Amino acid sequence: MPEVRVRFYATFRPIVGGKHADVAVTEGASAGDLLDAIVTRWPELHEHLIRPDGGLSKRANLFVDGRAVRFLPEGLKTPLRESQEIDCFPAVAGG
């Protein structure tokens, strides 16, 4: 699994320069590894995605097959598998 397709939304799109991107990760990577790879590639996303003390910012959502990683039993340690859908959103709301 050398690359993972990540879809980006809303204010993250102008930073990434598109709707999705293939992000390189190592074999057996976890959601947290993917997060690291994303902010390494797009440093501008760091302040949006990562808390000052590390970990996923509460103002961002990383979804694996529609489930927010923060609520999965293994959290950022969740191993990624082939053909999963990965979505990366800023926190959003409206009415």
In DSSP terms, 87 is beta-bridged to: 7, 63
Tell me the closest approach of the beta carbon of residue 70 to other proteins, in angstroms: 7
Q: Which is nearer to other proteins, 27 or 95 (CB)?
A: 95
* Interacting residues with other proteins between 47 and 66 (CB under 8 A): 58-61, 63, 65-66
Give the number of C-alpha atoms closer than 13 A to the C-alpha of residue 47, restricted to the C-beta side.
3
Q: Select from 30, 41, 12 the least CA-distant residue to 69.
A: 30
* Site for other proteins, rule CB under 8 A: 9-11, 13, 19, 58-61, 63, 65-68, 70-71, 85, 87, 89-95
